[in-house]
Structure 1
Amino acid sequence: MVTPAVPEIIEDEDLFSAIDARTEALQGIRELGPPDIVYLVKQSSKGNGKQTGVYHHVTGVDASSSASLAAYVNTLIYNSADRTHRVVSGLYCCYNAFSNLDMRVEVKIPGSVESYSVDEKGDRRVASESLWLETFLCGILRAYSYADDGSGDTIKKIVGVRRFNPITNTETEHKFLDAAEQLFFNGRQLGSDPEIQVPNLVCNHLTAGLLKYIKTTGRYTSGINLFEKIRTKDVEVSSLLAQVLIAGDEEVQAVRLMHDALQEVPMDYALLDCQAAFCQGKGEGELALECAKRGVTAAPSEFGTWARLAEVYVSVEQWDLALLTLNSCPMFTYQDKDSPRMPEPSRILLPLLPESLLDEIDEGQPKQGEPYDEVHASLRKLQAATYQGTFLKAYNILTEIAKAIGWDQLLRTRSQVFVMEEEYRTERQTAIASKPSSSRNASTVGLSGTPNGANVGASKINGDDSEENREEGDSEASSGPAQTNGEAETRMRAAEKSMHKPEPTIASELVTSGNEDPNPSHPGYSQFQNKRLCERWLDSLFMGLYEDLRIYTIWRTEMAQYRQQQIQYKKSATEWELLGELAERLHHFNEAIEAYHQCLAIRFSPQAMKGILKLCEREGDTRGMLGALIRLICWQYRWYSEFSPELLYTVRKLIEEEGAVKVRSIVQATNLPQPVLDLTHQYCQLCATFRSSGSEG
């Protein structure tokens, strides 16, 4: 097994300042904690005996005992590339998110091994066996949580992280599942994904890690056995068991389980959501709709239930209700994963693994000190590219609607269900003229029959489905970003005229801002009886979508005109990558692939190659998928990551569909260096170790 190279972040003067920074940051850790850190003290072999601190981050190392962490430190002692220094001590720090302690193992060379824990105040405590069990489980969950999906986004966030596969055989799997069973009912202490407001028994980082492991490795039987045992203690675990049964192609058993469990816990929103997702996947929109409505009733404060209902409305083509439901989603501020805040190092050494050297990846990469790619301001400022968490999920639903019915029809639907600013002001002036003495507050304008604006989707669920208004509310777009070329500016304006900019809706704060507003029951407001107030965040998403579509339209118009004139359309590699991401956000996959290919023609980009992998997967192109996988796996190894769950899952699914022999043969027939191919063979070997379907032949 080829292990990644060892990055070195060097502190020449202030030894252990990185460890001090980690200790100070313990109070601010919210969830699983940052990656582990390994700190070595090196002493010069020369007479002066000067000491230097060197550290790197790591995930996936066995943290079940002090001995296993000390063993990892020992692998770093002898570095054939550095003959001028010797390691005199090492410190391994691994966070225990259950007990909020930093478990530490200190190795003196030669000499002793000392283990202890540090609490949020920096005080030392004894490291017990129960604490090591918790630390072991946290280490595996972090390895999956901090793993890269193949695009390189996670790798670029933290410098110098070695990522190992925490579970490489069935023996470690049994140990992991046993620890998960023992600590299962403490899982909510770990927090949850940003789309979940309140972590609970079945929605937390522990259950998310378990499901991700089972999906990645295909070890459905092990997952079913685990959740069946835990289900005897709490029936709510049925939703997790049902998900694993469905993924493991035991659908009949899963349906029976969901039916029986809902007899016991009829308002379990996780079970209802699982049922809705299953019906939706089978094309049974009406059945999914009933389940999704009950899910919203069971958990009205959770984003996931509303998002599911919106998705179902999209699938049954009820666009107005989809928009109203989307407007009702409770939105949460995005909380990113815990990441280390380290002091400025003296130097950073990022060595390359010889086995990962590939000319195709090196060529065209900017050298140190060279200027970055020029990127047009309009591409850099696209707000939708920054959406995360609940806002990203909501934006995806909105773009699905736009893709299905078109931008103009989306605006018409928007003006039919939401109170528009212009029409509100017109009606308000009319009402004031006809009844100037009125002083009632108009806080419920547009919310007829609804106690507050945040629950508009619930009124729809209860039967308020009439949509009588037909206001279009379209206006022409403003001019695009200025360009030095007059002809290009003309093209941009012409492209923009084909789109309509969304008119503003009335803000709820304007409706509730003064007592001079007229009575909302006034006849002049009859037009608003079935309209709702649009949330500001949803208005912002509409503007983000408009900007995305505007830039996309300009790009495609320019491309067409350049082709007509047989002129090469030039962009930098970064611009092509951003255009590919833009097209992918808008569900224009062929155009996204075109942009990604243009990017890769200039230089290698993991983001662009991941896009190519997605297209090949959609088209069932096995050779194309493996070609992309080989390069992505190689790039991952180059940046110290031997493990990506997403890439391993893709390899496993390919082996399941095509067979291990065919997959290995296609990989071997690729005209690339053998060490690079061996990196992909290691992923195939992992599937054989876990006896994945198709790996026998």
Structure 2
Amino acid sequence: MTVAPAVPEIVEEEIESAIDSRNEALATLRELGPPDLVHLVKQTVKSGGRQNGVYHHVTGIDASSSASLAAYVNTLTYAPSDKTQKVISGLYCCYNAFSRLDMRVDVKIPGGVESYCIDERGDKRVTSDALWLETFLCGVLRAYSYADDGSGDSIKKIIGVRRFDPIVNTEIEHKFLEAAERLFFKGWQLGSDPEIQVPNLVSNHLTTGLMNYIHTTGRYASGINLFEKLRTRDMEVSSLLARVLISADEEVQAVKLLHDAVNELPMDYSLLNCQAGFCQSKGRLDWALECAKRSVTAAPSEFGTWAKLAEIYVGLEQWDLALLTLNSCPMFTYQDKDAPRMPEPARVMLPILPETMLDELDDSQAYDNELVHPSLRKLHAASYKGTFLTAYSLLTLITSKIGWDQLLKIRSQVFVMEEEYRSEKTGAPRQTSPSKNASTTALRGQSPSPGMNGKMIDPEDGETLNELVSDGESIEHTHDTASTAETAVAEEPLNGGPDHAIMDADKSIEKPEHTVTTEEAKADNEDADPSHNSYTHFHNKRLCERWLDNLFMVLYEDLRIYTIWRTDMARSAADASSPRTAKSSFNKSAEEWEILGELADRLHHPVEAVEAYQHCLRVRFSPKAMRGVMGFYEKTARHGDVLQAMIRLIAWQYRWYSEFSPDLLRTVRKLIENEGAVKVRSIVQATSLPQAVLDLTHRYVELCATFRSNGSDG
């Protein structure tokens, strides 16, 4: 049996200052709340010794009762490595997102246990079984929400968090699903992912956690049973049931269910989106298109419906409609998880268990003295999340298929460009021709055909540009975007590469000119000469949203830096006979290689991404680079290499107090389904690494056996 992760300790300047900070933050919590806080008061062994407060955060602890939380605190009272101090009290804080209460268990050592809860005003309240049920469910959902995906990003975000698997056997699974069933219709109160505008019955943190658990463990039968029971109470649950049935390879049953459910709820966008995704996966994009259009009609204010429609247009290679659809997407400000806000600590102690020590994983000096080229630091796309990340991914997907030049050409055909707008605005008046409303072009599914001079010709009647402007659509102008892109231009090559690589890149990557945003057009229209109100040159074009215009500028910078890098690499390979040239060209830090790998990933160049990640790993270990390499191995079915990467990622995770990663568990489960548990165990055991490190991976394999995953018997 593997040992528990080490216990990090963050030492307070003042005792209980961490608790005070948590109390103050309760009123600002929006969704699932922060990880659980465990606060200990320690005293030196000598009589009348000095006291000090330490704390850490934790996820995955059973929060179904005060006894289970007190039991966790008791496990921290015995520290064989520290004989000079003893724990005299402990406080466990666990947030109940349903009732907006912080559940507290105060343990006195020696002494008794007191449980109570604190509301947003700081008032004490009495606990109840109903509150503990809600708290237990929130605890499981937080464990999945705050889990790391293997890249280390979540681990590095909040220091000193112990992450445990909240569901380690079928008994706890039964308790979890029973709690989810009882509280399912209150799930919307928990909030939802940032891509969802309004949480509802089937789109909230509870349903996200349930689906994550089912897909991680492969417990499809349990999920089907749960959603079938809930479906008898509300037909909307059919979309969740259909998704699980499809994942469980019960496609015939899923199609019948979707057919019946759509007949009963013809305007349920979740059902229509599910239908569209299924048809898309089967290559029937014509069917998927009709479903996606109906989904947009049913929920025009939801980002997911528009994004699915744009994705299908990309699959159909209708690039102009894909851009118009992308431009119509409602974008939401990204709301991050409820992270703890703690006072500055006196010191931080991050112990490492001997069982997790491995020389090649030593990244303790990972970010010390690592130089990163300024142009790599300024790649704004790396920070995109939520709706902007999805939209940017679609834009880069289009670029990877048709190229940058063709993308700019199509962009100028469907959007009003700044130069032509200024030219028309100051030119002679022309006769106005009828046009259709460009904002509904994507839903009508008819692509305007280009005329001889490159203008878009369409005979249908509809809204002119002036009418669009007068509607009051408002988006700020984007000159600041140009300055962002210009300031990011490097004055020197990437870490020693040839100077002319930048000039070549600038020549090969055309910088996009600006489109005209709706607010600018509206402002100009207010004081325009009435005789110049007819802009027939672009009467059926769309006014580009500011955020999309911004994405084009960010994409330009990504492509420019990528081209410089690849040109540099090609010339270095050609000059490999010169040791000095080769050395200067490859003289990059691990973090630079990591950034270049992410850049190639964003631009849909997987082979180049793996190349950069491998260069990074030759310099030092990086969980992000190893995760990227492992993802490539998964796609190319190199199962042995996947396992080798997996062993190291699991060890690194465990080293930094995380024994649970849903993404890594899902990968292990799929390996077992493909290769069988016996073969997976054999490959792991044959690896020439310390047995304690291998045992950490064996634990994941044993967990799959506990849940009777396919292939775990042989």
TM-score of the two chains, using structure 1 as the length reference: 0.94
Q: Which residue of structure 2 aligns with residue 517 of structure 1?
A: 528
Alignment correspondent of 2:28:
28
Question: Is the 8 Å Cα contact of residues 320 and 447 (structure 2) preserved in structure 1?
Answer: no
Select the residue among 381, 402, 406 that pairs with 1:405: 402
**d(CA) in 1 for partners of 2:455 and 2:16?**
64
Q: Summarize deviations over 1:320-365 as a string: whole Å, max 9, x none.
A: 0000000000000000000000011111100002111111111x64
| Amino acid of the structure 2 residue aligned with 1:468 | P
Aligned to 2:573: 563
How well do the aligned residues superpose, as a CA RMSD in angstroms?
2.0
Q: Which amino acid aligns with 1:662?
A: K
Aligned partner of 1:73 in structure 2 is: 73
Distance in 2 separating the partners of 1:447 and 1:54: 72
**Matches for 1:382-393 after TM superposition, within 5 Å:** 382-393=379-390
Aligned to 2:475: none
For 2:511, what is the secondary structure of its paired residue? strand
Aligned to 2:564: 554
For 2:661, the aligned partner's letter is S
Change (3 A) 1:447 1:625: farther
C-alpha spacing 1:302/1:487, structure 2 compared with 1 (3 Å): closer
One-letter amino acid of the structure 2 residue matched with residue 190 of structure 1: L
CA distance in 2, matches of 1:84, 1:489: 60
For the 8 Å contact 2:320–2:414, the answer to whether it is kept is yes
The equivalent position to 2:503 in structure 1, one of 493, 497, 516, is 493
Match of 1:483 in 2: 492
Offset at residue 448 of structure 1 (A):
4.7
Q: Deviations over 1:599-634 (max 9, x none)?
A: 000100000000110110111001110000000000
Contact 1:227 1:237 (C-alpha < 8 Å) held by counterparts: yes
**1:240 counterpart SS class:** helix
Map 1:159-558 onto structure 2 (within 5 A).
159-362=159-362, 365-366=364-365, 371-431=368-428, 448-450=435-437, 456-462=438-444, 465-468=447-450, 471=454, 480-483=489-492, 488-514=498-524, 515-517=526-528, 525-558=535-568
Matched residue type, 1:466: P
In structure 1, distance between residues paired with 2:106 and 2:393:
47
Identity of aligned residues (%): 66
User: SS of 1:694's equivalent?
Assistant: coil
The 1:393–1:49 alpha-carbon spacing in structure 2 relative to 1, beyond 3 Å, is same
For residues 279 and 129 of structure 1, the distance between their equivalents in structure 2, rounded to whole angstroms, comes to 45
2:669 maps to 652
**Contact 1:187/1:206 (8 A) holds in 2:** yes
Secondary structure of the 1:162 match is strand
Alpha-carbon offset, residue 519 of structure 1: 6.0
Is 1:632 matched up with 2:649? yes
Q: Greater CA deviation, 563-572 or 644-653? A: 563-572
Contact 1:149 1:646 in 2 (8 A): yes
Deviation of residue 460 (structure 1)? 3.0
Aligned mate of 1:576, from 579, 589, 593: 593
Q: Measure, in 1, the Cα distance between the counterparts of 2:596 and 2:190.
A: 37
Residues 573 and 675 (structure 1 numbering): CA distance in 2 closer, same or farther, change over 3 Å? same
Residues 1:106 and 2:106 are matched in the alignment: yes
Whether the 8 Å CA contact 2:32–2:138 is kept in 1: the answer is yes
Contact persistence 1:412–1:471 (CA under 8 A) = no
1:517 partner amino acid: A
CA distance in 2, matches of 1:486, 1:54: 47
Query: Amino acid of the residue matched to residue 465 of structure 1?
Result: S
CA distance, structure 2, for counterparts of residue 157 and residue 560 of structure 1 = 36
In the TM superposition, residue 372 of structure 1 has moved relative to its aligned partner by 2.8
Report the AA paired with residue 690 of structure 1: F
> What is aligned with 2:464?
none
* Displacement after TM superposition at 1:457 (Å): 4.3
Match of 2:658 among 618, 634, 641: 641
Contact 1:468 1:530 in 2 (8 A): no
SS of corresponding position for 1:58: strand
Preserved contact between residue 497 and residue 568 of structure 2 (Cα < 8 Å): no
Q: Tell me, in whole angstroms, the C-alpha distance in 2 between the residues paired with 1:291 and 1:43.
A: 65
Distance in 1 of aligned mates of 2:497 and 2:698: 52
Q: Counterpart in 2 of 1:689? A: 706
Alignment partner, residue 10 of structure 1: 11
CA distance in 1, matches of 2:542, 2:264: 37
Q: Secondary structure at the match of 1:513?
A: helix
2:613 paired residue among 589, 592, 596: 596
Q: Which residue of 2 aligns with 1:85?
A: 85
Contact 2:321 2:445 in 1 (8 A): no
AA of the residue aligned to 1:90: G
**Contact 1:511/1:517 (<8 A) preserved:** no
Secondary structure in structure 2 of the residue aligned to 1:86: strand
Instruction: Provide the C-alpha distance between the structure 1 equivalents of 2:512 and 2:531, rounded to a whole number of angstroms.
Output: 25
Q: CA deviation at 1:296?
A: 0.1
Is this contact kept in 1: 2:433–2:536, CA < 8 A? no
State the alpha-carbon separation in 1 of the partners of residues 191 and 354 from structure 2. 39
- 1:376-399 CA-to-partner distances (Å, cap 9, x unmatched) read 000000011111100000000000
The letter for the 2-side match of 1:396 is S
Moved more, 168-177 or 491-500: 491-500
Is the CA contact (8 Å cut-off) linking 2:195 and 2:304 kept in structure 1? Answer: yes
CA-CA distance at 1:101 after TM superposition: 0.1
Mapped contact 1:480–1:493 kept (Cα < 8 A): no
Judge conservation of contact 2:425–2:532 (CA < 8 Å) in 1: no
Q: Equivalents in 2 of 1:336, 1:316: separation in Å?
A: 34
Matched positions, count: 675
Q: State which drifts further: 633-642 or 555-564.
A: 555-564
TM-superposed CA distance for 1:459, in Å, is: 3.7
Which whole-Å CA distance do the structure 1 matches of 2:666 and 2:440 have between them?
A: 38
User: Match for 1:481: what amino acid?
Assistant: A
1:481 is displaced (CA, Å) by 1.1
Distance (whole Å) between structure 1 residues aligned to residue 354 and residue 706 of structure 2:
26
| CA deviations over 1:153-208 (Å, ceiling 9, x no partner) | 00000000000000000000000000000000000000000000000000000000
User: Cα distance, 1:446 vs. partner?
Assistant: 12
Structure 2 counterpart of 1:252, one-letter code:
V
CA distance in 2, matches of 1:48, 1:31: 43
Task: Quote the Cα distance in structure 2 between the aligned partners of 1:346 and 1:467.
Answer: 67
Shift of 1:563: 1.5
Task: State the 1:486 CA deviation.
Answer: 10
Instruction: Work out the CA distance in 2 between the residues paired with 1:633 and 1:519.
Output: 69
* Whole-Å separation in 1 of the counterparts to 2:190 and 2:422: 49
Deviations 1:395-440 (A, max 9, x none): 00000000000010000010010000101111111136x79xxxxx
Alpha-carbon distance in structure 1 between the residues aligned to 2:414 and 2:61? 54
SS at match of 1:239: helix
SS of alignment partner, residue 500 of structure 1? coil
Q: Which amino acid aligns with 2:506?
A: E
Q: Which moved more, 1:120-129 or 1:371-380?
A: 371-380
For 2:156 and 2:239, the matched residues in 1 are separated by 35
Structure 2, gaps ≥5 residues long: 457-481, 577-581
Alpha-carbon distance between aligned partners in 1 of 2:187 and 2:531, rounded to the nearest angstrom: 49
Give deviations 1:95-136, integer Å, cap 9, x for gaps: 000000000000011111000000000000000100000000
Mapped contact 1:59–1:164 kept (Cα < 8 A)? yes
